[in-house]
C-alpha cells in the first residue's frame, strides 16, 4: 500500500490517499477547502492514474470533510463512516460557521462502517477499529500487512484528541487507546488527523497522555 498525505485547510487537517499498484484508491478525510486545495487533490489523482472507490471519514468534524461535497460531485463515490457520526455530519456546516468557515452542508447519506470490518481496495486491506472518545463514532484504520494505522483525531504525535466537543469523552478515549490501540504491534506507524506521523512504540514511550497506560 502506498499513500500520499495532504495538509488541508486552516486547521492543517491530514487527508490521506491510500492506493496500491492496481491504481484503486480510497480518500481518507477529505478536508480540502476551496478550489486550490480541491485541485491539488484531484490533480494528484489524475496524474497518478488513480481510481477513487470510496471516501472514509475517521469522524465527521467539519475540518475532515470540507471537501466532501466536491469529492462526491467529482467522483460520484460513496461515503463510509461510523453511524454514530451522523449528528456531526448533519451539523457540519453550522459547526464550521462557528469557527468562521463557510462550507456547503454535505449530503448526509452514507454507508455504515462497523467495528472489525475489513475495507478492501485493489490488493490492499484496512481494518476498521471503532475508537470512541474524541467523538462517538471515531474510527481508526489498521493495515496489518503494512503496519500502518490511520488514527484520525484519537492519537497524535505527542498528544491525543480533545474531548471537550459534543460527544467527546475522555475516559472513553483512554479506553480506546489502552484496549484497542495499545494491543497493536509497537512498530505500527501512525498517521494522525493532524500533525506528523509517528510509531506506537514512540508514542507509548514519550506521549504524556499514554504514560499511565504503559
Ligand atoms: Zn476532530
Ligand atoms: Zn481534526
- What pLDDT digit, counting tens, does each position of 98-139 carry? 999 999 899 999 999 999 999 999 999 999 999 999 999 999
**Residue 214: helix, strand or coil by DSSP?**
coil
Identify the nearest ligand to the CA of 63 by its number.
2
Identify the nearest ligand to the CA of 193 by its number.
2
Residue 170 has which C-alpha cell? 475522555
pLDDT at 214: 67
List all residues 6 or more positions away from 35 whose beta carbon is below 8 Å from its beta carbon.
none
In degrees, rounded to 5, the angle at the alpha carbon of residue 9 between the alpha carbons of residues 52 and 2 is: 35
* CA diameter of the chain: 46
How many angstroms is it from 62 CA to the middle of ligand 2? 8
How many angstroms is it from 195 CA to the middle of ligand 1? 13
How many angstroms is it from 21 CA to the middle of ligand 1? 31
How many angstroms is it from 172 CA to the middle of ligand 1? 15
Q: Which domains does the chain have, with CATH numbers?
A: 2-213 (3.60.15.10)
How many angstroms is it from 47 CA to the middle of ligand 2? 27
Q: How many residues does the chain have?
A: 214
Q: What element of type H or E holds 35?
A: helix 34-47
pLDDT band per the 50, 70, 90 thresholds, residue 159: very high
For 28, 89, 166, 201, 204, the CA distances from 185, given in Å and listed in that order, are 22, 32, 31, 8, 11
pTM: 0.97
- What pLDDT digit, counting tens, does each position of 10-33 carry? 999 999 999 999 999 999 999 999
How many angstroms is it from 24 CA to the middle of ligand 1? 27
Amino acid at each position: 500500500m502506498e499513500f500520499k498525505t495532504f495538509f488541508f485547510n486552516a486547521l492543517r487537517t491530514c487527508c490521506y490517499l491510500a492506493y496500491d499498484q492496481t491504481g484503486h484508491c480510497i480518500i481518507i478525510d477529505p478536508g480540502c477547502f476551496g478550489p486550490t486545495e480541491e485541485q491539488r487533490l484531484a490533480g494528484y489523482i489524475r496524474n497518478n492514474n488513480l481510481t477513487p472507490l470510496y471516501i472514509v471519514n475517521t469522524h465527521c468534524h467539519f475540518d475532515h470533510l470540507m471537501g466532501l461535497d466536491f469529492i462526491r460531485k467529482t467522483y460520484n463515490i460513496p461515503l463510509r463512516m461510523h453511524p454514530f457520526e451522523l449528528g456531526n455530519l448533519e451539523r457540519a456546516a453550522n459547526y464550521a460557521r462557528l469557527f468562521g468557515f463557510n462550507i456547503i452542508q454535505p449530503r448526509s447519506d452514507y454507508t455504515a462502517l462497523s467495528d472489525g470490518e475489513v475495507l478492501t481496495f485493489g490488493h490492499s486491506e484496512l481494518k476498521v477499529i471503532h475508537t470512541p472518545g474524541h467523538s462517538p463514532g471515531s474510527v481508526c484504520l489498521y493495515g496489518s500487512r503494512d503496519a500502518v494505522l490511520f488514527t484520525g483525531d484519537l492519537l497524535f504525535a505527542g498528544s491525543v484528541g480533545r474531548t471537550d466537543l459534543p460527544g467527546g469523552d475522555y475516559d472513553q478515549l483512554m479506553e480506546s487507546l489502552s484496549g484497542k490501540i495499545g494491543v497493536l504491534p509497537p512498530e505500527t506507524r501512525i498517521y494522525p488527523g493532524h500533525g506528523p506521523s509517528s510509531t506506537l512504540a514512540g508514542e507509548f514511550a514519550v506521549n504524556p497522555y499514554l504514560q499511565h497506560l504503559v
